[in-house]
């Protein structure tokens, strides 16, 4: 977005208002178009163009998409009051106020997965999907109105510091997170390699504790074909078991998973480890599931009020359908991980071992905006092929085994041990 310079308080403020007003209303019209079920870029563009043509000044009638009890003049009254009275002049930058208003607009939905990403955060989000960024290496979300760790990345600073899936972040550098948005929390935790951040963590019913973490450059591949423990890897090989761990469903996952599968075709058994996998691309989850499920539904996408259901079916040849398979999950397995686990469980092509998954069964649409910002908006919910709800419910394992804090500290893995035992 071009920087707006306030040269003349009276004339320039009017220009600024008009530009920002138009931009805000365009975003609102797009957002409302999604909510009322308008699909396809042609229809959405029509709504935007139609509203653009009507926006001649800030007093233009906008009742076509705002309820009649909304007085939009309050927005400008608030804007003017901040500019005229706020004590810190650095806090009245037009771009800061503008992006803050857009963030608040999306935050008003009270949906932890719908967020507005300013250009800098949007760039970091895209970098994370590509598997590289600076930070501590932990996926965060809002659960029970608290900032919660979905999962730490393997070998990340967060994991090495003892951060676990399900940990609640009570404070960041002693700043209470109760009233901090997820966006702001991520921004506060992220930082340049070598710098430090202190998180106040609560794990279950344990007493809260401070953990100081040194940020690092995070690089990871989304597929691993060994556990990192030589004695376990030898045991797996001796028992003719292929081990494949998916850490994210990212841009590189499909090609890496295909290679891992081809290298495993001579094995009799498969362990698919989805623990601490926070999700990723839907298309990747479908293609991974398709290695076990042939010519059938993988997941169902249900729109608002169940007015419309879209079925996503398997693609390609199910190379692993005859391989006895165990899938490992825990409360850090979310979204795309739950799609895969749910589909394989519904069709009884795998045994699910571990803990009930996170329960993120909602669909987010990522819309990139011209200035580099983006909107991640919930547009639907997931159901498994047999119509089980994923959102807030999660996938319950066939065999429940809890990985205790004592197991973690002693580097024990009873979930993997059970999987090996089962594959005989």
Q: Give dist(CA 175, CA 37) in Å, integer.
A: 40
Count other C-beta atoms under 10 Å from residue 19's C-beta: 15
Quick check: 66 and 72 in contact, CB under 8 A? yes
* Three-state SS sequence of 39-70: CCHHHHHHHHHHHHHHCCCCCCCCCCCCCCCC
List 333, 335, 337, 362, catalytic entry: 335
Residue among 247, 324, 253, 339 at smallest CA distance from 289 = 339
Q: Give dist(CA 287, CA 255) in Å, integer.
A: 10
Residue among 175, 46, 172, 186 at smallest CA distance from 122 = 186
The DSSP secondary structure of 59-118, one letter per residue, reads T---TTTS-TT--THHHHHHHHHHHHH-S-GGGG-HHHHHHHHHHHHHHTT--TT-EEE-
Three-state secondary-structure class, residue 401:
coil
Examine the residue annotation and report whether 360 is marked as an active-site residue of this protein: yes
Q: Give dist(CA 400, CA 374) in Å, integer.
A: 39
Examine the residue annotation and report whether 346 is marked as an active-site residue of this protein: yes
Examine the residue annotation and report whether 167 is marked as an active-site residue of this protein: no
List 346, 373, 381, 413, catalytic entry: 346
Q: Give dist(CA 140, CA 87) in Å, integer.
A: 34
Q: Which long-range contacts (CB under 8 A, 24 or more apart) does 79-82 make?
A: 79/17, 80/13
Is the CA virtual torsion 287, 291, 296, 302 positive or negative?
negative
Alpha-carbon separation of residue 125 from 106, 254, 281 (angstroms): 17, 20, 13
Burial of 382 (0-12, 13-18, 19+ CB in 10 A): buried
List 360, 374, 381, 413, catalytic entry: 360
Catalytic positions, please?
335, 346, 360
């Amino acid at each position: 977005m071009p920087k707006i310079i306030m040269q003349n308080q009276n004339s320039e403020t009017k220009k600024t208002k008009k530009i920002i007003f138009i931009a805000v209303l365009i975003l609102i019209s797009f957002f409302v178009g999604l909510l009322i079920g308008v699909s396809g870029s042609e229809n959405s563009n029509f709504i935007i163009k139609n509203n653009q043509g009507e926006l001649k000044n800030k007093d233009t009638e906008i009742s076509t998409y705002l309820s009649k009890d909304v007085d939009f003049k309050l927005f400008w009254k608030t804007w003017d009051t901040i500019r005229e009275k706020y004590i810190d002049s650095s806090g009245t930058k037009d771009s800061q106020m503008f992006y803050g208003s857009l963030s608040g607009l999306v935050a008003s939905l009270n949906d932890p997965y719908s967020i507005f990403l300013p250009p800098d955060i949007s760039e970091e989000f895209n970098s994370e999907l590509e598997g590289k960024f600076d930070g501590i290496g932990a996926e965060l979300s809002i659960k029970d109105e608290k900032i919660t760790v979905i999962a730490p990345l393997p070998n990340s600073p967060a994991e090495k510091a003892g951060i676990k899936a399900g940990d609640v972040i009570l404070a960041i550098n002693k700043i209470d997170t109760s009233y901090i948005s997820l966006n702001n929390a991520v921004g506060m935790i992220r930082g340049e390699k070598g710098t430090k951040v202190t998180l106040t963590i609560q794990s279950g019913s344990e007493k809260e504790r401070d953990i100081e973490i040194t940020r690092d450059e995070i690089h990871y591949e989304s597929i691993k074909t060994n556990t990192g423990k030589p004695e376990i890897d030898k045991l797996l090989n001796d028992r003719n078991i292929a081990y494949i761990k998916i850490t994210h469903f990212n841009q590189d996952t499909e090609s890496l998973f295909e290679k891992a599968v081809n290298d495993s075709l001579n094995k009799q058994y498969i362990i698919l480890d989805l623990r601490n996998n926070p999700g990723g691309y839907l298309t990747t989850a479908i293609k991974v599931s398709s290695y076990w499920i042939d010519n059938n539904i993988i997941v169902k996408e249900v729109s608002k009020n169940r007015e419309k259901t879209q079925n996503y079916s398997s693609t390609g040849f199910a190379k692993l359908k005859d391989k006895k398979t165990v899938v490992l999950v825990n409360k850090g397995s979310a979204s795309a991980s739950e799609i895969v686990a749910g589909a394989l469980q519904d069709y009884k092509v795998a045994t699910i071992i571990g803990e009930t998954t996170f329960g993120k069964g909602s669909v987010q649409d990522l819309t990139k905006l011209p200035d580099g910002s983006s909107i991640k908006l919930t547009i639907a919910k997931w159901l498994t092929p047999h119509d089980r709800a994923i959102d807030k419910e999660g996938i319950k394992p066939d065999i429940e085994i809890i990985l205790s804090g004592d197991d973690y500290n002693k580097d024990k893995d009873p979930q993997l041990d059970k999987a090996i035992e089962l594959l005989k």
